[in-house]
Amino acid sequence: MIVIRLREQMRAYMERTGERLTYADLADRSGLSKATVETLGSRTSYNTTLATVDKLCAALGCGLEELLDYQPDKPKKSRKRARKPGA
């Protein structure tokens, strides 16, 4: 799963520049809707486009490796079906 670390990068932006960005500010700077930015900030595994990621990286002044994180999916446990007695 690819995780979007938007909040972390917004904090890093503030530490670098001294400027606090709200979701509305980031939406204005990136050309994305505020709803999209809010969703990306609250749902780290949200499925988005590369164009959106590109806009966020440009607005935050960060690279892909700083905004995105790959976390392998946990293996799914297989469920064995119970056999009916006498079958």
Q: Which domain holds residue 33?
A: 2-70
Check which CATH number belongs to the domain holding 62 and give it: 1.10.260.40
pLDDT, position 27: 98
Residue 26 lies in a domain: yes
Q: How far is CA 50 from CA 9, 16, 24, 61, 83, in A?
A: 17, 25, 21, 16, 47
82 belongs to a structural domain: no
Residue 41 domain flag = yes
78 pLDDT higher than 90: no
Whether 77 is covered by a domain: the verdict is no
**What total of structural domains would you count in the chain?**
1
Mean pLDDT check: name the lowest of 14-23, 43-52, 56-65, 76-85. 76-85
pLDDT in tens, 31-75: 999 999 999 999 977 899 999 999 999 999 999 999 999 989 888
Can you give the pLDDT at residue 81?
64
pTM for the model? 0.80
State residue 55's pLDDT score: 98
Q: Please determine, for residue 87, whether its predicted confidence score (pLDDT) is greater than 90.
A: no
Q: Cβ distance 19 to 35 under 8 Å?
A: no
